[in-house]
Amino acid sequence: MGRADRSRDPALEEELPAEGHLFRDVSIAGVAIAVFFRNAAFARFTIDGARWSKTAAFVDRVLALPSFQKLCPFEDRCVRTPIARTVLAELGAPLLAETYGTTSPRRGMMRI
């Protein structure tokens, strides 16, 4: 395949395994790739599985891990709701007694 032909397919597609994970087991390398696509999904980006089947399947495998599935309810609710402690508390998130977060911007301690 010539250089011009390869420009249609990202290098990532060529490097990912058709099955399993990078380096045989789940690793920080695979997680780093998958979380990028999870974050992109919050902006309604989806991988074209017909065009990049290995990438889509790999991301799906990593995001299907129990550790990621445990976070999904928090992420899904927070992405649709202005961040509020009450929402996080309803979901059972571990929260500190105090917070410095507010729903509106405020001047910080540093002077510019």
3-class secondary structure, 86: helix
Query: Which of 79, 58, 61, 81 has its CA nearest to residue 69?
Result: 61
- The pLDDT value given to residue 98: 77
Mean pLDDT value across residues 3-17: 67
E strands in the chain: none
Confidence of residue 3 (pLDDT cuts 50, 70, 90): very low
72-79 CB contacts, 8 Å cutoff, 24+ apart: 75/38, 75/42, 79/42
- The pLDDT value given to residue 50: 93
Q: What's the whole-model pTM score?
A: 0.63
Q: pLDDT tens digits for 27-53?
A: 888 898 999 999 898 888 999 999 999
